[in-house]
Chain A
């Protein structure tokens, strides 16, 4: 990974370009930022924000308040000048190439990450001259951009709290949590850092040049070796093979950050402060972000491991991969892509789960979004880019098929219990951040998490060499290991120290102590090696942590699985005493020694020795360790000599033997007690475990049952959903029917709710109220109407109160319209009144008909009463003057005939022909063949008809009794004509002429008949009558004015019969 450096763009005499990213709360942060900048900082600034387009468009004006530098809105192809500010135009994606800005207006639908995109293009363009400042914002934009800048040697800054915000700290926090921020400072302090950055680039340029040109090369060279040494000693990595120029750049950046101008001063700091060494180390290692970084390692993984993962897996099985410390997800997706590519070749595809965990929620957020700037996709082949990424607004989004494989969650590999039954753990470049302690804890954790034969994939600079018993290397070069199953029982390191995760400084301290290569140490090493007694270091439990040389005489590997338990591996004769002296030291806390012991060697010789156990406090706050020294006394002796010696030392001291025996008994007793206690404890633990197990089992069963329930609930939901769908369809149909009904009926109906608000209405209501569909929900009393609605409102209240329908007629006098309003309660399915239905029925025509009927009835009464008055008069005239009842009856009959003529007439007008013929017909046979009737069609009104008819009746009666109709020879002709007399109007002239019989004076001349003809016609019809008695019969002429209507009928008749 150290070799894979992007070539730096060398732009000497060029100025740095600073990307400034801000989002929510950005205006205040920008204010602080620009207030902190001098007018000529020697840099160019490009401001990229997520502000709403309206605020963005006035952003340059806002910035102008706080700076005197010229401000430009970035334009396509604009060259960036020093001491100038460029603002991203609204709704666009900004990038930079060869120091020219490029504006891309095409924006995807999803949220773009303009800051990431600009920062990464800036990093690619000008490398170490780039700088990125992340200000206030509410998401994780800028995090990947900062990585890109840092990776190419640029400077990174993020805002921390002060008066100018950040109001939303997610964005800077996310950037800071990557560990790649050089300066986490308040916004207004950034300016000073950037000015220094610009200056520093110039001065250090000279430094780098001198290195390259070997001017004063020896000084620089020796300084660099000094740094390599410090690094090698502290962190155990040798950077001397690292590219000198790149290495210098990194050192230079750290010097800048620490504000050192000379290498010597910096080296001094490195010596003094291990933390700075760690920081430099991490800066040197930044290369972890890209997809398929260390392409060879990934290729090896794809080739060696991935196929094995899928071997013997059916479709129901799951391949589980764990990526602890996944950060922003590049490693996760890289592995996801490898797995997917392999799956493409398989016919049976097991399920794949890639668990990606990190303690950094911000980074997880970035990873879940799976949106990366193009710069991070350098190592992704075009084929993979097409297949697994979707280009969107200048960035690339990982396709769903890969994202679906990956599950991101917050999890600490140190604190939290690990995942289990994992096939592959990929933990690249995480452990370089961990100290030895944590590493010693994490690696067994991985061992525990993995299935037998599971794989571990580490970063190039990481190793598990201290855990050879747990992992075997498969590809040493690419750090691919396989979990060992032989011998060691999987153990979960349960006793997890509450260690902080990032404590490399502390571990480095230890390295300094143990590996510092000074003369003294070399001497000490040699003395130790050659002259010190053999010794081991054990922990409180007796597990050996350290062996010196030449311990073989005292220790021997027992049969069975390998062990580090001191008492197990101690040679036979030593065990009891070793246990005793060890116990004594542990219990007393003092050093304990036992002399005069013998140990048998392979050759059957005996060596006398003494054992010393001493506590060893090598670090504060840590567990006490014990140093056990094996000190030989004298030469190797034979068995006999040894026995003699023991005997000699014991001889004569039965007392001492007894004491020892007593001690031993006591020890035995306490051992037994301890043993029993331990046994008890074990028993209770066992019981607890059993109960836990049972609980687990029952929980499992419950879960199983829950699952089944869920399944059945799901089924039910499906069914219910189907039913609902059907119902919705039915409802739709019913609704449509109703709609059509409303539209087809002309009834104006309004549905109102309790507040008199309109619920719905038929289109016909529009004729009554000014109503539009938007009025639904408004009270009807708000709407202007053609009618008074006061009464309507009162009526509606009544309906609400008693539930009885109300009908009312309302009238619009102006429009001559009448409506019947019917208000009926609207009841819901519970029969509760929820509203009213108001129907307006147009009864204008009905009302007209009624009025007309009333007029007709009045008219009928009028006529009837008039008729009765006439009858009254006729009775007086006829009966009162002594005429016969017969003639009275005849006259009444004539009146009756007039009435039937009127009744049969269509429009109250009767043809004169009909009148004459009816009277003639009434006398029957005598008239047949004797009478001729001729004249134009003349329509006479009711008023005229009655009197005229009676007159003709009198004439006919006379003719039958005394005239032409009585004798055989008699003839009658009735003729008439219509004449216009100018101003006098139109006149009807009717002639009644009897012929063919001797003259006979009219009997009725002075009677009713002649009175009628001579006076009644004159009075009632303004007629002029003449009644003459010619030689062969009566001639009667009647001349009377007639209405225009009657005349018109006559004219029409003439026209038809010329």
Chain B
């Protein structure tokens, strides 16, 4: 594994409602060598995308809060599709519903190592 670009060759879906947040995340992932898919800002759009284009990505980073709506439905969808994913959140862990706390989280603002660790742990878990 290339230590500069540890995510080389991976396709990662970015679901984030804020443009700048998405830009920051995309920038960071690309720095880590990943290929980003998206970003998508709206949950129904993201669900539709996962249904249709699930082959186009390997794993995902999803914001917990999308325009005031929790992204649990998307998480379930991803889980059902067997996709690894990481929750991006501005909240503390206990703001998440109980059953979703088991997924790895990455807190905003994003740090390079934290994001990488979260992504890797999501894979390790599954």
Q: B18 touching A869 by the CB < 8 A rule?
A: yes
Contact of A866 among B27, B39, B108 (CB under 8 A): B108
Q: B41 touching A869 by the CB < 8 A rule?
A: no
With A872-B109, A872-B110, A943-B17 known as contacts, the answer to whether A877 contacts B23 (CB < 8 A) is yes
Per-position 1/0 for B48-77, Cβ under 8 A of A: 000000000000000001011000000000
Contact of A1016 among B20, B67, B107 (CB under 8 A): B20
A863 CA to B109 CA in the complex, in Å? 11
Q: B68 touching A873 by the CB < 8 A rule?
A: no
Q: Is the contact region of chain A dominated by helix, strand, or loop, or is it mixed?
A: helix
Of B2-10, B88-96, B117-125, which stretch is located at the interface? B88-96
A864 CA to B91 CA in the complex, in Å? 9
Q: Does A547 contact B (CB under 8 A)?
A: no
Contact of B92 among A858, A1019, A1022 (CB under 8 A): A858
A369 CA to B94 CA in the complex, in Å? 91
Q: B19 touching A1019 by the CB < 8 A rule?
A: yes
**In which size bucket is the chain A interface?**
20 to 34
* List of A residues within 8 angstroms of B42 by Cβ: 1022
Q: Does A1015 contact B (CB under 8 A)?
A: yes
Q: A864 touching B90 by the CB < 8 A rule?
A: yes
Q: Does A1020 contact B (CB under 8 A)?
A: yes
Contact of A865 among B27, B39, B107 (CB under 8 A): B107
Q: Does B21 contact A (CB under 8 A)?
A: yes
Query: Would you list which residues of chain A between 821 and 864 have a CB under 8 Å from chain B?
Result: 858, 861-864
Q: B90 touching A865 by the CB < 8 A rule?
A: yes
* List of A residues within 8 angstroms of B65 by Cβ: 862
* List of B residues within 8 angstroms of A1017 by Cβ: 19
Q: B41 touching A1020 by the CB < 8 A rule?
A: yes
A871 CA to B24 CA in the complex, in Å? 9
Contact of B21 among A869, A877, A941, A1012 (CB under 8 A): A869
With A868-B109, A869-B109, A1020-B17 known as contacts, the answer to whether A862 contacts B89 (CB < 8 A) is yes
A1020 CA to B18 CA in the complex, in Å? 5
A866 CA to B110 CA in the complex, in Å? 10
Q: A873 touching B24 by the CB < 8 A rule?
A: yes
* List of A residues within 8 angstroms of B108 by Cβ: 865-866, 868-869
Closest approach, in angstroms, between the C-beta of B1 and any C-beta of chain A? 25
* List of A residues within 8 angstroms of B32 by Cβ: none
Q: A870 touching B17 by the CB < 8 A rule?
A: no
Q: B27 touching A870 by the CB < 8 A rule?
A: no
Q: A876 touching B24 by the CB < 8 A rule?
A: yes
Closest approach, in angstroms, between the C-beta of B13 and any C-beta of chain A? 15
Q: Does A947 contact B (CB under 8 A)?
A: yes
A189 CA to B20 CA in the complex, in Å? 127
Q: A876 touching B19 by the CB < 8 A rule?
A: no
Closest approach, in angstroms, between the C-beta of B107 and any C-beta of chain A? 7
Q: Does A73 contact B (CB under 8 A)?
A: no
Q: A870 touching B68 by the CB < 8 A rule?
A: no
A1012 CA to B19 CA in the complex, in Å? 9
A379 CA to B22 CA in the complex, in Å? 128
A874 CA to B19 CA in the complex, in Å? 10
B42 nearest CB neighbor, chain A only: A1022
* List of A residues within 8 angstroms of B21 by Cβ: 866, 869-870, 873
Contact of A1020 among B19, B89, B92, B107 (CB under 8 A): B19
* List of A residues within 8 angstroms of B95 by Cβ: 858, 861-862
Q: B23 touching A876 by the CB < 8 A rule?
A: yes
* List of A residues within 8 angstroms of B109 by Cβ: 865, 868-869, 871-872
Closest approach, in angstroms, between the C-beta of A546 and any C-beta of chain B? 132
A1017 nearest CB neighbor, chain B only: B19
Q: B18 touching A876 by the CB < 8 A rule?
A: no
A862 CA to B18 CA in the complex, in Å? 12
Q: A943 touching B27 by the CB < 8 A rule?
A: no
Q: Name the residue among A872, A874, A943, A946 with the largest chain B CB count within 10 angstroms.
A: A872
Closest approach, in angstroms, between the C-beta of B108 and any C-beta of chain A? 4
* List of A residues within 8 angstroms of B24 by Cβ: 869-870, 872-873, 876
A517 CA to B68 CA in the complex, in Å? 145
Contact of A943 among B68, B90, B91 (CB under 8 A): B68
Query: Would you list which residues of chain A between 1002 and 1037 have a CB under 8 Å from chain B?
Result: 1012, 1015-1017, 1019-1020, 1022
A946 CA to B108 CA in the complex, in Å? 17
Closest approach, in angstroms, between the C-beta of B83 and any C-beta of chain A? 22
Query: Would you list which residues of chain A between 527 and 570 have a CB under 8 Å from chain B?
Result: none
A340 CA to B96 CA in the complex, in Å? 104
A209 CA to B17 CA in the complex, in Å? 140
A877 CA to B22 CA in the complex, in Å? 12
B21 nearest CB neighbor, chain A only: A869
Q: A873 touching B23 by the CB < 8 A rule?
A: yes
With A862-B65, A873-B24 known as contacts, the answer to whether A1015 contacts B90 (CB < 8 A) is no
A874 CA to B95 CA in the complex, in Å? 27
Closest approach, in angstroms, between the C-beta of A983 and any C-beta of chain B? 16
B107 nearest CB neighbor, chain A only: A865
Q: A869 touching B91 by the CB < 8 A rule?
A: no
* List of A residues within 8 angstroms of B67 by Cβ: 943
Closest approach, in angstroms, between the C-beta of B40 and any C-beta of chain A? 9
Q: A869 touching B20 by the CB < 8 A rule?
A: yes
Closest approach, in angstroms, between the C-beta of A902 and any C-beta of chain B? 15
Q: B20 touching A874 by the CB < 8 A rule?
A: yes
Per-position 1/0 for A870-897, Cβ under 8 A of B: 1111101100000000000000000000
Q: A861 touching B23 by the CB < 8 A rule?
A: no
Query: Would you list which residues of chain A between 326 and 359 have a CB under 8 Å from chain B?
Result: none
Closest approach, in angstroms, between the C-beta of A995 and any C-beta of chain B? 30
* List of A residues within 8 angstroms of B41 by Cβ: 1019-1020
Contact of A858 among B22, B68, B91 (CB under 8 A): B91
A1015 CA to B18 CA in the complex, in Å? 11
Q: A861 touching B27 by the CB < 8 A rule?
A: no
Closest approach, in angstroms, between the C-beta of A1012 and any C-beta of chain B? 8
B68 nearest CB neighbor, chain A only: A943
Q: A870 touching B20 by the CB < 8 A rule?
A: yes
* List of A residues within 8 angstroms of B39 by Cβ: 1019
Closest approach, in angstroms, between the C-beta of B37 and any C-beta of chain A? 15
Q: A862 touching B23 by the CB < 8 A rule?
A: no
A868 CA to B89 CA in the complex, in Å? 12
Query: Would you list which residues of chain B between 80 and 107 have a CB under 8 Å from chain A?
Result: 89-92, 95, 107
Closest approach, in angstroms, between the C-beta of A313 and any C-beta of chain B? 105
* List of B residues within 8 angstroms of A858 by Cβ: 91-92, 95
Q: A1015 touching B110 by the CB < 8 A rule?
A: no
* List of B residues within 8 angstroms of A871 by Cβ: 109
A1019 CA to B46 CA in the complex, in Å? 13
* List of A residues within 8 angstroms of B19 by Cβ: 873, 947, 1012, 1015-1017, 1019-1020
With A872-B110, A1019-B39 known as contacts, the answer to whether A861 contacts B20 (CB < 8 A) is no
* List of A residues within 8 angstroms of B17 by Cβ: 943, 1020
A864 CA to B21 CA in the complex, in Å? 12
A64 CA to B105 CA in the complex, in Å? 103
A1015 CA to B19 CA in the complex, in Å? 8
Closest approach, in angstroms, between the C-beta of B9 and any C-beta of chain A? 23
A863 CA to B65 CA in the complex, in Å? 11
Contact of B91 among A862, A872, A1016 (CB under 8 A): A862
A855 nearest CB neighbor, chain B only: B95
Q: A873 touching B91 by the CB < 8 A rule?
A: no
A665 CA to B110 CA in the complex, in Å? 159
B66 nearest CB neighbor, chain A only: A943
Minimum-distance CB pairs A-B, first 6: A865-B90, A873-B20, A862-B90, A1016-B19, A873-B24, A865-B108
Given contacts A863-B90, A865-B89, 14 further A-B contacts (CB under 8 A): A861-B90, A861-B95, A862-B89, A864-B90, A865-B91, A866-B21, A871-B109, A874-B20, A876-B24, A943-B18, A1016-B20, A1017-B19, A1019-B19, A1019-B22
Pairs across A and B, CB under 8 Å, 14 listed:
A858-B92, A861-B90, A861-B95, A862-B65, A865-B90, A868-B108, A869-B21, A869-B109, A872-B109, A872-B110, A873-B27, A874-B20, A1012-B19, A1019-B19
Listed in ascending order, the chain B residues whose CB lies under 8 Å from chain A are 17-25, 27, 39, 41-42, 65, 67-68, 89-92, 95, 107-110
